Amino acid sequence: MDVNTITKASGQCLCGAVTVSLNDARPEAEVCHCTMCRRWGGGPFMGVSGGSCTINGSEYVTVYKSSNWAERAFCSICGSNLYFRYVPADHYSFCAGIFPFDGEIQLGKQIFIDEKPHFYDFAQDTQKQTGPEVIAEAIAAGFTFTEAKNES
């Protein structure tokens, strides 16, 4: 955990039916350029993770199982994407845009850089990993994948 975590980050979907309280949020938004994330959100995914979290209005949260190891959730009223959950580690990565962050976080690592289309680039030069590198790192950390396809 980073030393400068944000003690408590409060976020919400567009309509406000779902609110999120994330403790010890890491002060960076990790970016995923993979095809699935871009299809899901209309652009690259920017995720903020942290410690424990509370989701209020969970009756309005629809969870879509996008692969054998991942879930993606959205508000069933307004359609706002809420989080990506890596199931094997029970790890939540919340959509950065649901929080009112400005200067307190930075752009973090960019993953699946090999799947990024050419029509955009971020001005910030951050650490980058290809999809195979991300998967190799996860396998090295002890996670197994039951489907042989890229997902993040």
17 scored as a contact of Zn ion (CB under 5 A): yes
Structure tokens at 56: 């209020």
Structure tokens at 107: 């752009």
Q: What is the DSSP letter of 109?
A: E
Binding mask 51-80 for Zn ion (x = CB under 5 A): ------------------------x-xx--
Question: Please, are residues 57 and 63 in contact by the beta-carbon 8 Å criterion?
Answer: no
15 scored as a contact of Zn ion (CB under 5 A): yes
Pick the closer one to Zn ion by CB: 87 or 104: 87
Looking at the DSSP bridge assignments, the partners of residue 71 are 65, 85
Residue from 6, 9, 13, 25 in contact with Zn ion (CB under 5 A)? 13
Edge-to-edge order in the sheet of strand 53-56 = 6-12, 19-25, 53-56
Pick the closer one to Zn ion by CB: 75 or 95: 75
Interface residues with Zn ion (CB under 5 A)?
Answer: 13, 15, 17, 32, 34, 37, 75, 77-78, 152
